[in-house]
């Protein structure tokens, strides 16, 4: 399934029954995430606190007042989780991004309770990096 926006994705995820269906959908989402060029997979872009390798780039276009977030990982499940995060944050103003409670969104999607503690911490580290960037541009 492809989604045109986060509310559509959220509605579809909430309609799924059970972790297996959600896990499968995460895998499919991960496949849709563009691969980051190897030249961009540098230590400076790595998110500390993630068990898997995660590379994160965040930019802000002042003319449009929007965040642009690009990320990649070396594991499929994390790529799916990143696809969710990117749908949550991309195109938001810094104020909207700073106000977003991503952890609650993951709870609403029925995902946090199924993630290992280290994956949950990794998600928090990614979201924290995005939120810090957004707050610095408010």
| 50 has catalytic annotation | yes
Task: For residue 112, give the DSSP letter.
Answer: G
Exposure string of 78-112, with b = 16+ CB inside 10 Å and e = fewer, is bbbbbbbbbbbbbbbbbeebbebebeebbeebbbb
CA 110 to chain centre: 15
> What is the rounded CA–CA span in Å between residue 109 and residue 106?
5
Q: Quote the CA–CA distance of 118 and 15 in Å, as a whole number.
A: 27
The catalytic position among 50, 71, 88, 127 is 50
Write the DSSP symbol of residue 113.
G
Which residues are known catalytic residues? 50
């Amino acid at each position: 399934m492809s989604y045109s926006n986060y509310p559509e994705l959220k509605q579809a995820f909430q309609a799924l029954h059970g972790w297996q269906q959600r896990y499968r959908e995460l895998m499919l989402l991960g496949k849709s995430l563009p691969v980051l060029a190897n030249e961009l997979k540098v230590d400076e872009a790595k998110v500390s606190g993630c068990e898997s390798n995660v590379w994160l780039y965040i930019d802000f276009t002042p003319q449009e007042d929007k965040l642009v977030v690009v990320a990649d990982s070396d594991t499929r499940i994390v790529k799916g989780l990143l696809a969710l995060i990117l749908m949550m944050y991309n195109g938001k103003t810094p104020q909207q991004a700073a106000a977003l409670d991503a952890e609650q969104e993951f709870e609403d999607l029925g995902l946090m309770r199924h993630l290992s503690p280290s994956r949950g911490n990794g998600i928090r580290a990614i979201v924290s990096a995005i939120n810090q960037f957004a707050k610095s541009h408010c």
